[in-house]
Amino acid sequence: MSSLKEISDDLTDCRAAPEEAASAAPEEHDELHRAGEEKTRKCLICKTPFQSAWAGERVCRRCKATSTWRSTGLD
């Protein structure tokens, strides 16, 4: 069984390099931020490029305006 001193020393080692942790954090944040930002994507229906507002928007407004798109769903 580990002593409290050994556990404390391990934790100190983890916190010993804040510069490394700080330098990695912005890159991870940028990747997460980029995943949700606006960008040009191809519509899953008509395959034309469109400006999506977020990562989950994959169907363009033109296709969403069709009666087929509006009539499909849980009614």
pLDDT, tens digit (0-9, with 9 covering 90-100), for 14-51? 555 555 545 555 666 565 556 567 899 999 999 999 99
**Contact call for residues 40 and 58 (beta carbons, < 8 A):** no
Place of tokens 């050994």: 6
Outline where DSSP puts E strands in the chain. 39-42, 49-52
Least confident of 2-6, 34-38, 42-46, 70-74: 2-6
Q: In one letter, which amino acid is 31?
A: E
Question: What does the alpha-carbon distance between residue 22 and residue 9 come to, in Å, rounded to a whole number?
Answer: 21
What mean pLDDT is predicted for residues 50-67? 93
- What pLDDT shows up at residue 21? 47
8 or 40, higher pLDDT: 40
pTM over 0.75: no
